[in-house]
Amino acid sequence: MKKILVPTDFSQEAENALKVAAQLARKHGSEIHLLHMLEIPMQGIDAVTAQVEVPEVMFFMKMAHKKFEDMKNSDYLKDITVHDIVKPEASFNSVIDICKEQGTDFIVMGSHGASGFKEMFVGSNAEKVVRTSDVPVLVIKNKHQEFSIDDFVFASDFKNDNKETYKQATEFATAFGAKIHLLMVNTAGNFTTSRKAKERIDDFIKDYSFKNYTVNIYNDESVEKGILNFSSDIDADLIGISTHGRQGIAHFFNGSISEDLVNHAKRPVITFKI
């Protein structure tokens, strides 16, 4: 976690994410790369329209840099190396490209609440960031005076294609000194006995040295509700899920899981790409 990318639209929700990123940067000696993307169409500019649209782009870019300067003077960013980037396009490709160009290895993003999360992540550029990002994406939904992780729920079907994401989860948990609660949710339509579920989980983790974990098989009406209810039962600090490059958040647990999981979660969610 040496370089943290924080996309921002200068909203309160984005600032909540930035404050968490600042805490992570301070804890791990990381630098922060702030990214703002202007929602100004650049295509179709010709000799007639350029005199109108290009000055407009330059104006908004200067305004964004001014806001960045004000942000970097905030107390919570004191003594942290912060780089600001303004892109004259609102495209998820910009986020992915910046990650590759700058070598960032972690993304922290804000969420606008339940309806806002759906608008921001489902079928939007930000959802594509989560789907296509090769690095973990931490979604922050609320203010965190102190961002600490003691109890971390890692929900999975514990099949082989999730092993790389589990490795990333253990590294994240180790950095925070957190306990991982391995969670497999049983539903009526996809039932596995407790013994078989535990055997599958034990086999899944047998090659890993991480020992600070619990094994949990939870019965509920749906996978989403099971994850949310279990996380609520133990008052988890973080929920971790896997995403797939082709189907994003929707690819989870033998096919699909609705966006309701992250849409309704009241706690931070971190996604790891399979």
From CA 151, how far away is CA 34, in angstroms rounded?
Answer: 28
Amino acid at 257: I
User: pLDDT at position 6, please?
Assistant: 93
From CA 245, how far away is CA 252, in angstroms rounded?
Answer: 11
User: pLDDT at position 209, please?
Assistant: 93
The Cα angle at residue 162 between residues 249 and 7, in degrees rounded to 5: 40
Q: Are strands 82-87 and 269-273 parallel, antiparallel or unpaired?
A: unpaired
User: pLDDT at position 61, please?
Assistant: 78
Q: What is the mean pLDDT of each run of 10 residues along the chain (274 residues)?
A: 90 92 94 84 47 65 84 92 82 76 90 50 52 84 90 91 88 95 93 94 94 96 90 95 60 44 74 82
Distance of CA 180 to the CA centre of its chain: 17
CATH number, span 151-273: 3.40.50.620
Full-model pTM: 0.83
User: pLDDT at position 58, please?
Assistant: 76
Q: So where are the chain's domains?
A: 3-140, 151-273
- In the three-class reduction of DSSP (H, G, I as helix; E, B as strand; rest coil), residue 192 is classed as coil
User: pLDDT at position 258, please?
Assistant: 35
Instruction: Fold for 3-140, please state it.
Output: Rossmann fold (3.40.50)
From CA 271, how far away is CA 244, in angstroms rounded?
Answer: 10
Element holding 165 (H helix, E strand): helix 163-176
User: pLDDT at position 36, please?
Assistant: 87
- Do the beta carbons of residue 251 and residue 155 sit within 8 Å? no
User: pLDDT at position 88, please?
Assistant: 74
User: pLDDT at position 17, please?
Assistant: 92
From CA 96, how far away is CA 127, in angstroms rounded?
Answer: 12
Q: Count Cβ atoms within 10 A of the Cβ of residue 153 and give its class: 0-12 exposed, 13-18 middle, 19 or more buried.
A: buried
Interhelix angle 113-121/125-132, nearest 10 degrees: 70
In the chain the first and final C-alpha atoms are separated, in Å, by 19
User: pLDDT at position 261, please?
Assistant: 57
